[in-house]
Amino acid sequence: MDASEVAELKNFIDDCKSNPSILYNPSLSFFKSYLQSIGARLPPELKMDKVGDGMSHSAEDFDAKKSTISSEDEDGIMESDLELDNTDVVEPDNDPPQKMGDPSDEVTEDNLNAAQNAKSKAMDAIAEGKLDEAVDYLTEAIMLNPNSAILYASRAGAFVKLKKPNAAICDAEAALKINPDSAKGYKMRGMGRAMLGLWEEAANDLHVASKLDYDEEIDLMLKKVEPNAHKIEEHRRKYERLNKQNELKKAERKRQQEA
């Protein structure tokens, strides 16, 4: 933004401070929705009836408006009390898509043997901490044997170690497409999703992986993921209840006003 745009934005915010009713202009509904989405508490909308060029303020009108303000404030968006542990969340990786094998390719016995040899080299590279080298070997293996779920899942594991969650998820889903019961596919997709802060989705994947083939690493990941997933679920239930209560209150007020 240039200086003039910043100045215009500042003037707009100053106008909102002096006259909050601006936020209720229909043309600014997108801005109001944004403020509410980040937990902002908006002032109640004040509506006055104009009489000629002046304003009418009878005692009855004041009492009615006071009641409306109280009700609107009561129904306002509450600040979020959701606190998540995002310690291990990383920025999404935006690298070019990794090479994927063509499942229609014919796989000969020589290809299978060469793919297994490349996979063995990849495992050695991972053990030595040479993760990029391991990805190269696994890519070679995948191109030789594109119908192997374990090869895709193994490369997904290397991407998880490289903190490239999107690449890991892509490979994990390729593994699950080949083998819907791939425990490692679910495990790696769950770990990739956890790195992106997709806590509920990650918990679901890790639970499935644990049922298919339990290991201690899955258990450790679930201990990190589940608390956040539970908080999100409880938070959603809480605000669903509050929204339902608010809708009932509004309906009751409307019925009383019509009566």
Q: Judge whether 42 lies within some domain.
A: no
Residue with tokens 């497409």: 177
Q: Which domain holds residue 15?
A: 1-29
Specify whether 10 is located in the same domain as 123.
no
Q: What's the pLDDT at 54?
A: 37
Rounded Cα–Cα distance for residues 204 and 214 (Å): 14
Instruction: Look at residue 57 in the predicted model and tell me its pLDDT.
Output: 39
pTM for this prediction: 0.65
Within 53-209, strands assigned E span: 54-55
How many angstroms separate the CA atoms of 182 and 156, rounded? 12
- Identity of residue 247: E
Place of tokens 């801005």: 31
Tokens at 250, concatenated? 């509004």
CB 203 within 8 A of CB 232: no
Q: What is the pLDDT of residue 40?
A: 62
Same domain, 25 and 128: no
One-letter amino acid at 36 equals Q
Counted domains in the chain = 2
Which conformational region is residue 197 in: left (phi greater than 0), alpha (psi within -120 to 50 degrees), or beta? Answer: left
What pLDDT sits at residue 17? 66
Burial class (CB in 10 A: 0-12, 13-18, 19+), 241: exposed
Q: What pLDDT is recorded for position 78?
A: 42
Cα atoms in the 13 Å half-sphere on the side-chain side of 226: 8
- Alpha helices in the chain, H assignment, sequence order: 3-18, 29-37, 59-74, 109-127, 131-144, 149-161, 165-178, 183-195, 199-212, 216-258
- 225 and 120 in a common domain: yes
Q: Domain for residue 153, yes or no?
A: yes
Q: Which two tokens stand for residue 81?
A: 């009390």
23 with 123, same domain? no
Per-residue pLDDT tens listing for the chain (259 residues): 666 666 677 667 766 766 666 666 666 666 666 665 555 666 655 443 333 333 333 333 433 333 333 333 334 444 456 788 898 899 999 899 999 999 999 999 999 999 999 999 999 999 999 999 999 999 999 999 999 999 999 999 999 999 999 999 999 999 999 999 999 999 999 999 999 999 999 999 999 999 999 999 999 999 999 999 999 988 888 878 888 888 888 888 888 888 7
Determine the pLDDT at residue 211. Answer: 96
Is 47 contained in some domain?
Answer: no
Q: What pLDDT score does 68 carry?
A: 36
DSSP 105: S
CATH code at position 204: 1.25.40.10
Q: State whether 117 and 223 are in the same domain.
A: yes
Is the residue at 147 inside a domain? yes
pLDDT at residue number 69: 31
Angle ∠(101,121,88) on CA atoms, nearest 5: 75
Tell me if 177 is assigned to some domain: yes
Contact indicator for 162, 132 with CB cutoff of 8 Å: yes
Q: Can you give the C-alpha Rg of the chain in angstroms?
A: 28
CB 36 within 8 A of CB 218: no
In this structure, is residue 245 part of a structural domain? no
Residue 215 included in any domain: yes
